[in-house]
Every structure is written in C-alpha cells, then in structure tokens.
Amino acid sequence: MSKLPYVKKTFKNGLNYIFVPQPQSMATTVLVLVSTGSEYETKNINGVSHFLEHLCFKGTEKRPRSLDIAGELDGLGAEYNAFTSNEVTGYYAKSANRNFQKILDVVSDLYLNPVINADEMNKERGVIIEEINMYEDLPMRKIWEDLATLMYGDQPAGWSVAGEKDVIRNMTREDIVSYRNLHYVASKTTVVVSGGLAINPERVVAEYFAGIREGQSIKKAKTIEKQEEPNIFFGDKKTDQTHIAIGVRAFDWFDSRRYALSVLSDLLGGSMSSRLFKRVREELGAAYYIKSSTDLNSDYGSLAISSGVDKERVPEIVEAIVEELKSLRDKDIGEDELIKAKEHLSGKIVLQLETSDELAQFYGGEMAISGKIRTPEEILEKVRAVTVEDVRSVAEDIFKDDRLNFAAIGMIDNSAKERVKNIFKLS
C-alpha cells in the first residue's frame, strides 16, 4: 500500500491529536479515545467504565436529553456509537465531510460535558442489566468472558467489561463522577480526525477541547499470570450447539514476536484454507465456524481458537485442535504455506483500513495503548519479514501445558468432560 500521511501532535494541555487525511473519502470520522477501561477499575466499581460510556449519551448542559444528541446526529445522516474495552473507551461519529465541525461539536460535548443525571442513571441501570442478560444468552459471546475469567481469575483482566449486575445496581453517581474525574483528562485522551477533509483541522479540535480537565495519567494494576497445568472450565447451559474457546498465553503488545504470533494465528485459523478450517470443517464436517485470533494488551496477551460444535463431538474436535498445535510446534512449516499466510494477513490489514472510521480506530488505538504509532506500512514490513524459524520459535514458546486453557458452554455429559480432560494437553 502507498504510504499514508498523518499528523500527530500533543497539545500543551497534554491532549493527543491525530489527523489522518483520506482525500478520496466522502466521509469524515471524529473519534475520541480515553486510555481507560475495565482494567482500571476496582472490584466494587467493576463496570463503571461501561456505565459512564452509556451516561455520556444521556445529556449535556447544551443538549440536555439523549434525544437531543441522537436527533442532531441523525439529522446529519451520521453513524455514531461508543465502546468500552479492557484498556480503552471510545466515542465516535462519522458523516459527510461538510458536517465535520457539527459532529465534532456533538462528540466533544458529550465527552467533555455529560450531566450524569441521577434519574437518568437509575433508568440506565436497567438498560445495562438487560445488556448483561443479553450477553448471558449469547454463548458465542459469553464464552470469551468465561475464558478470560479462567485465564486471569479475580483481577481486572478476568472481570467482565460490563460488570456484575449487583455492582451495577449499587453503583452511585459519586462513583461515576469520581472515576470520570480521575481518568477523563487531557493526558489520557486522544482525538482522531480521519477522512476527506481538505485541510488539517488542528485549530478547530484545539478550540473544542480547550476546556478539557488536566491531570496525571493514571496507570492500571499489572496483570498477574500464573499457571502450572492446563485449565479447563465447563459452563452448563441448554443450547443446540456447544461453543468452545481455547486460550494460549502469549505476550504483550510491545513484544517484537507479535508479528510471528499473528502469522502463526493465521496459519492455524485465519482463513478458509487454514489448518483448522481444513481439518475441522472440511475433513471432519464438524463445525460451521472455527477461527484463530490474537488479543494483545499492554502487559499480557493470548492466542485464541473458537468454534461451535455438536456436544457429542467436543472431545473429537479438541483432540484435532491439540494435534494441530503440536504439529505447528514440532514439525517444519512449508515455505509456500508461510508465504500464503503472510500475504493473507497483509491483505486483511490493508482491507481493514479502507474507510475513515477504520483508519481512525487503527491510529487512535495505537496511540491510546502504546503512546506511539506504528504505521500500516511498518506493520506490513514486519509481517513480511517473518520467517519459518520465527513462527516455529513462537509455537515452541507458547504451546505448552502451563499456557493452555479451555472453556466450553453447552450440555456436555460427564463422560465427554472426562475425555476432554484427558486429551487437553500438549506434553
């Protein structure tokens, strides 16, 4: 891909600013990221990051009702939303280039000036509890929370981003406001503008965020990783399909081996010609989906495999997956297979950056997590430089019993559970 120019600046108040021009785009995205999320919480306010994200859309002094915010953005034909993750919370809007300043006005307002009305907060408790209930009824999603809890236990990395229902019911306005005052500060905030604007909007962004609170950047507690043998969790739930997830402890966002890990993941389950797809779907006819992915955070990371299978076939599929992990660890990888995986991964990186909102999330995410930016070109160069030896070395490092974790949701009988316990090992 051709080199994409961008502008990065830190204002005097500590606010980070990024402009990513995309001349051919008819749309512009405004994204505001704050470097905080569920891993910055304590047990008694678990879910506060997500709760606050909801409340920012409930009204400001300028736009006192949620309908005022939504109505204005809808009237601009905008797409807009927010999200909360382990380490980052984001607010964004995307609209035609001519509406840039209008969407910036709305997004900056809800980020900087939420009223956090007590009555609205009480209403939103019910909304969030129903959101949690919805996730409970979606095993394909819930399995990831179960896997995180299995791997990291009772610490922020193992907690639900949405929080526990009892904690949400008892959270006070003071809890929300205190958390916001601590974390929603200039030094932890990144404003990204991406799209078809003809000129750099730096001056406009600086004007709209001139009143942002200043403060020190609070760090999260370090994630503790401790494991001696394979961990296994079975969640019993009446479902037509059993969902399984395997998590392998790897390394963090800053580790230079991350590129080889991404290639390894692609070899395993990144495409319809990957090893797991061929083995589990094409040869065994046992799953509609099976995939592999990586999840890297600031101080820990993992490679994960997920699938949905018949409850009777869970041991068979686990055995097949374990065999593929051993094969990648113990046997040579063909150069042709490696090249295909690298090209597939490179293609995905390019295609994921086609629109203004995707570009904004890429550049903003880089800045919010690490404080600096790796360009797409730099990432592609690192991926293409990965060798057979690099992949084999990572596989040898991580495919070990003391890094192996398995979670399942479904109605698996006791004999199948015992078979899984006997099969699920790499030694």
Same domain, 271 and 150: no
For residue 183, the number of C-alpha atoms closer than 13 Å in the C-beta half-sphere is 27
Give burial (CB, 10 Å; 0-12/13-18/19+) of 101.
middle
Residue 240 lies in a domain: yes
Residue whose tokens read 């204005």: 72
Residue 314 lies in a domain: yes
Domain end point (choices 208, 241, 268): 208
404, 261: one domain: yes
On whether residue 281 sits in a domain, the answer given is yes
- Neighbouring-strand partners of residue 408: 234, 244
Reply yes or no on whether the pLDDT at 165 is more than 90: yes
Residue 355's pLDDT is what?
96
Whether 69 contacts 402, CB under 8 Å: no
Query: What pTM does this model have?
Result: 0.95
Q: Does 182 share its domain with 273? A: no
Q: Which residue has the tokens 């406001």?
A: 177
- Note whether 163 and 275 are same-domain residues: no
Tell me: do 385 and 351 sit in the same domain.
yes
- The whole-number pLDDT of residue 5 equals 85
Domain boundary among 208, 239, 257: 208
Classify residue 216: in a domain, yes or no.
Answer: no
Contact residues for 41 (Cβ-Cβ < 8 A; gap 6+) = 47, 48, 49, 156, 159, 179
Task: Flag whether pLDDT at 279 surpasses 80.
Answer: yes
Residues 6+ apart with CB under 8 A from 419: 315
pLDDT at 1 over 80: no
Q: What's the whole-number mean pLDDT along residues 402-415? A: 97
Q: Residue 2: inside a domain, yes or no?
A: no
**What is the predicted pLDDT for the residue at 329?**
97
Contact 92, 360 (CB under 8 A): yes
293 has a pLDDT exceeding 60: yes
The CATH number of the domain holding residue 22 is 3.30.830.10
pLDDT, mean of residues 364-370 = 94
Confidence of residue 204 (pLDDT cuts 50, 70, 90): very high
Last residue of a domain, one of 152, 174, 208: 208
In a shared domain, residues 265 and 189 = no
Nearest Cα residue to 15 out of 114, 84, 112, 83: 112
255 and 291 inside one domain: yes
Computed over every residue of the chain, the mean pLDDT equals 96
- Cβ distance 286 to 280 under 8 Å? yes
Judge whether 217 lies within some domain. Answer: no
**Which residues pair with residue 10 across a beta bridge?**
16
Instruction: Spell out the residues 6+ positions from residue 72 whose beta carbon is closer than 8 angstroms to its own.
Output: 63, 102, 106
Give me the mean pLDDT over the 38-48 stretch. 98
Same domain, 90 and 199: yes
CA atoms of 404 and 424, how far apart (whole Å): 8
Q: How would you label 280-312 residue by residue, b for 16+ Cβ within 10 Å and e otherwise?
A: bbeeeebbeebbbebbbbbbbbbbbbbbbbeee
Specify if 222 maps to a domain.
no
Give the Å distances, CA to CA, from 229 to 146, 285, 355, 402, 421.
18, 31, 44, 4, 11
pLDDT at 4: 63
Say yes or no: 166 and 302 in one domain.
Answer: no
- What residue type is 232 in one-letter code? I
Mean pLDDT confidence for 379-388: 98
Residue range 155-161: mean pLDDT, rounded:
98
Q: Which domain holds residue 67?
A: 7-208
User: What percent of the chain stands above pLDDT 70?
Assistant: 99
Q: How many independent structural domains does the chain possess?
A: 2
Helices 66-75 and 100-112: angle between axes, nearest 10 degrees: 160
Q: What is the pLDDT of residues 85-127, one digit of tens each?
A: 999 999 999 999 999 999 999 999 999 999 999 999 999 999 9
The candidate with the shortest Cα–Cα distance to 112, out of 200, 45, 207, 19, is 207
* Same-domain pairing of 340 and 191: no
For residues 396 and 247, state if they share a domain.
yes
Q: Report pLDDT for 3.
A: 60
In this structure, the answer to whether residues 279 and 363 fall within a common structural domain is: yes
| Per-residue pLDDT tens over the stretch 229-267 | 999 999 999 999 999 999 999 999 999 999 999 999 999
Residue 89 lies in a domain: yes
* Burial bucket for residue 372 (CB in 10 Å: 0-12, 13-18, 19+): exposed
Cα separation, 418 vs 316, whole angstroms? 12
How far from the centroid of its chain's Cα atoms is residue 113's Cα?
26
Strand partners, 287: 309
pLDDT computed for residue 269 by the predictor: 97
